[in-house]
Amino acid sequence: MKTSEALAEQPGPALQDFNYLNADYGIRSWLFTVDHKRIAILYLVVITMMFAVGGIFATMIRLELLTPKGDLVDADTYNKLFTMHGIVMVFFFLIPSIPATLGNFLIPLMVGARDLAFPRINLLSWYIYMIGALFGVYAIFAGGVDTGWTFYTPYSTSASQTQVIPTVFAAFVVGFSSILTGLNFIVTTHKMRAPGLTWFRLPLFVWAIYATSLIQMLATPVLAITLVLLLLERGLHIGIFDPKLGGDPVLFQHMFWFYSHPAVYIMVLPGMGVISEMVTCFSRNRIFGYKFICFSSLGIAVIGFLVWGHHLFVSGQSVYAGMLFSLLSYLVAIPSAIKVFNWTATLYKGRVSWQTPMLYVLGFIGLFTIGGLTGLFLAAIGLDVHLTDTYFVIAHFHYIMVGGTIMAYLGGLHFWWPKITGRLYPEFWAKIAAVIVFLGFNLTFFPQFLLGYMGMPRRYHEYPPEFQVLNVLSTAGASILAVGYMLPMIYLMWSMRYGPRASANPWNATGLEWQVPSPPPTYNFDEVPVVTEEPYAYDKPERRVA
C-alpha cells in the first residue's frame, strides 16, 4: 500500500504513463489497494467464481430434471442443490454483481471524482464479502443446507439437520458488505460530484445505482436483524418465530421479504442503469425522457418497499392485506413500463448500430418485458393461488434476474471492457455469444412458464412423465446457455493480452469516464473536470457517428 501510494503521488510527467493497472505490481498491491477500480476488479474475480459455483448447482438441478424419475440425486440432495443455487446466486452473485463491479469502477469516474468518498470502507466491504463467502463455501463443504434460500422458520430453526448456522451467518455477514457499498455510493453521489455536474446532468447509471444504494441501506439491516433472531432461535433454542414456543412464523416471512422483495430491485435496477447508458450510445440519439427515467428508478425503489406481502398470499396473511399488497404490486409496473417505453422511444429515429452491447440491450428489453408482464400474473391474488410454488414463478424471476440482470451485466462488461482493461474484445465472437445467450436463455426458461401453468411444482426432484418433453427442452437450453456464458469468459480473458489497444473513447460516447485514458490513471482525473452540458448530447454533429 505504501509503495502504491508513493508511486502514484509522485508528481511530474512520469505519471502520465501510469494507469491503475500498471501503477504497481504484486499480490499485495491488489489486496491492500484502496483504488475503487482495483477493488472493482477484486469483486469481478470473486463474483465470477461464485457465479460458476452457483452454475454448477444449476447444472445438477437441470440434469436431475432431465428424466421424471429421481435417478441422479436423492430428494435430500436435491433440496440442498436448489437451496445452495439460490443462496450463492442471490447473496453472492446477483446482489453485488453490477454495483460492486461496474458501479465501483464507474461511479467515481462518472461523477468526476478521484475515488469514492470512503476508499478504505470500500476495501473493507470487499473483505467483509470475502469473510461471508468463506462461511458460505465452508457450509457447502460441510454438507450444505436444505431450507431453500428463504430460510423459512420453523423448518430452519428446529427441523433441518443441515448447515443452517454457517449459511445464515454467511448471508448475515455479506449483507454488511452490501450496506457499506450502498452507503459509499450514496455519500459519493451527494458530496463528490464535479463542478457543474448537477443532479439532472448525472448519467442514468448513477441515478440507478443511487436508487439501488438507498434500498441496500434501508432494507439490508432488516434482513440482518431477522437472521440474527433466526440464529438465536436455532442456536440457543429460545422462542421467537417457532409456533411451538408461541412465536409467529409468518412474522419471519414478513421480515424476510421486507428485505428480500426490495432486494429484487437491488438486483435489477443497476441493470436498468446499464441499459440506459448503452441504448442511447448505440442509437446515437438523446435518451428519451431523461427525467422520467431518473424518477422511475426512485419510484421503483420506493414502491419496492411496499409490496413484500405478495410473497405471503398463501401464508395465512389477512385477505385485506393481500388485496392491498396486490394493488401496490401492480403499481411497480408503472415505473418499469416507463423505462421500457423510454428505451424503445430512444431507438426511434436513432442511428441504431448492432454492436454487442446493443444486442444485449435488445435482449434485455424483450426478456425484461416478458418477466415484468408475468409478474402481473403473480400479483393477481386469485391467479397466484394457482401459480404459487410452481415453475411459473421460477420462470418469471429468472426472466428478471437472468434475462434482465445478467444480460445487462454482460452487456455492460462488454461496453466498458475497453475502459477497464484498455483492450478491445473480439466483436465477432462477442456477437455470437450474445445470440447464444439469448437463445439458450429462452429455451431454458420459456418451457418453465408452460410447466408451471400446467401445475408442475418447484423444489421436487421427480415429476409426472407428461412433463418430460418440456423439461428436456429446458435442460437442452441450459446447456446452450452454459456455452454462451463460457465464451465471454474465454475471449474476454484472451483480449486482455491479445486484444487491440483501445482508445480513450472507442464508442465516441458521452460521459466523463470516456474522457480519461483507457485504462484510467490511479486518481482518474489530472484536473477536476467541469461539466457544462446535459449527459446524452448524442444529437450533436460530432456525436452522431460511432
Partner 1 sequence: MPDESHAVAPHHAHQFESAEQQLETARLGMWAFLVTEVLFFGGLFTAYTVYRMLYPHAFTEASHHLDYIIGAFNTAVLISSSMTMALAVHAAQIGHRRRIVIFLALTILLGSVFLGVKAYEYHEKFVHHLVPGPNFRFEDPNARGAQLFFSLYFAMTGMHAVHMIIGICMLSTLLVMAARGRFSPQYNTPVELAGLYWHFVDIVWIYLFPLLYLIRGS
Candidate list 88, 168, 173, 255; residue touching partner 1; CB under 8 A: 255
Indicate the residue among 249 and 273 with the shorter CB distance to partner 1.
Answer: 249
**CA 327, 332, 333: angle at the middle one, nearest 5?**
100
| Shortest CB 221 distance to partner 1, Å | 4
Phi, psi of 242 (to 5 degrees): -75, 120
Q: Which stretch, 227-235, 294-302, 431-439, 538-546, contacts partner 1 (CB under 8 A)?
A: 227-235
Q: Which three cell numbers stand for residue 482?
A: 452454459
Whether residue 305 contacts residue 266, with contact meaning beta carbons closer than 8 Å, is answered with no
Give the residue with the Cβ less far from partner 1, 48 or 198: 198
CA-angle at 103, arms to 98 and 104, nearest 5°: 120
Coil, strand or helix at 423: strand
Q: What is the C-alpha separation between 324 and 101, in angstroms, rounded?
A: 37
- Least distance (Å) from partner 1 to the CB of residue 37? 13
Q: Which three cell numbers stand for residue 537?
A: 448530447
Considering only residues 7, 52, 66, 192, which one is a binding residue for partner 1 as defined by CB under 8 A?
Answer: 192
Nearest Cα residue to 506 out of 415, 402, 384, 375: 415
HSE of 501 in the Cβ direction (CA atoms, 13 Å)? 5
Binding to partner 1 (CB under 8 A) within 93-112 occurs at 108
Helix (H) or strand (E) holding 483: helix 468-498
Interacting residues with partner 1 between 151 and 170 (CB under 8 A): none
Interface segment toward partner 1; rule CB under 8 A; list 222-230, 263-271, 310-318, 319-327 = 222-230
* Interacting residue with partner 1 among 49, 70, 114, 439 (CB under 8 A): 114
Residues within window 117-136 making contact with partner 1, judged by CB under 8 A: 117-121
What is the total count of residues that contact partner 1 (CB under 8 A)?
Answer: 44
Q: Is 453 in the site for partner 1 (CB under 8 A)?
A: no
Residue 402 binds partner 1 (CB under 8 A):
no
Q: Is 240 in the site for partner 1 (CB under 8 A)?
A: yes
**Residue of 11, 13, 246, 382 interacting with partner 1 (CB under 8 A):** 246
Minimum CB–partner distance for residue 193 and partner 1 (Å): 11
Stretch that binds partner 1, among 153-161, 201-209, 214-222, 455-463 (CB under 8 A): 214-222
Minimum distance, C-beta of residue 340 to partner 1, in the bound complex (Å) = 31
Q: At closest approach, how far in Å is the CB of 140 from partner 1?
A: 28
Contact (Cβ atoms closer than 8 angstroms) between residue 320 and residue 396: no
Q: Is residue 248 involved in binding partner 1 (CB under 8 A)?
A: yes
E-state strands within 121-272: none
For residue 221, list its beta bridge partners: none
39 lines the binding site for partner 1 (CB under 8 A): no
Judged by CB under 8 A, the chain residues 346 through 375 that form the site for partner 1 are none
Q: How far is the CB of 169 from partner 1 (least distance, A)?
A: 15
Question: Which grid cell sits at 49?
Answer: 467464481
The burial class, CB within 10 Å (0-12 / 13-18 / 19+), for 201 is: middle
Query: What's the min distance (Å) between Cβ of 256 and partner 1?
Result: 10
Residues in the chain: 546
**Long-range Cβ pairs for the range 522-527 (8 Å, 24+):** 522/4, 522/8, 522/18, 522/19, 522/20, 522/23, 522/35, 522/37, 523/8, 523/114, 523/115, 524/108, 524/109, 524/113, 524/114, 524/115, 525/112, 525/113, 525/114, 526/15
For residue 364, which of 333, 405, 336, 393 has the smallest C-alpha distance? Answer: 405
Q: Does 179 bind partner 1 (CB under 8 A)?
A: yes
Indicate the SS3 state at residue 60: helix
Interface segment toward partner 1; rule CB under 8 A; list 180-188, 285-293, 329-337, 368-376 = 180-188
Tell whether residue 224 is a contact of partner 1 (CB under 8 A): yes
Shortest reach from residue 196's CB to partner 1, in Å? 14
Q: Is the separation of the CB atoms in 133 and 92 below 8 Å?
A: yes
Residue type, 314: V
Residue 148 touching partner 1 (CB under 8 A): no
| Binding string, residues 517-546; x marks residues near partner 1 by CB under 8 A | ------x----x------------------
What is the smallest separation between the CB atom of 225 and partner 1, expressed in angstroms? 4
32 binds partner 1 (CB under 8 A): no
Q: Among 101, 220, 260, 297, indicate the residue that binds partner 1 (CB under 8 A).
A: 220
Question: Rg of the chain over CA atoms, in angstroms?
Answer: 23
Interface with partner 1 by CB under 8 A: which residues? 9, 108, 113-121, 179, 183-184, 186-187, 190-192, 217-222, 224-226, 228-229, 232, 236-240, 245-248, 251, 255, 523, 528
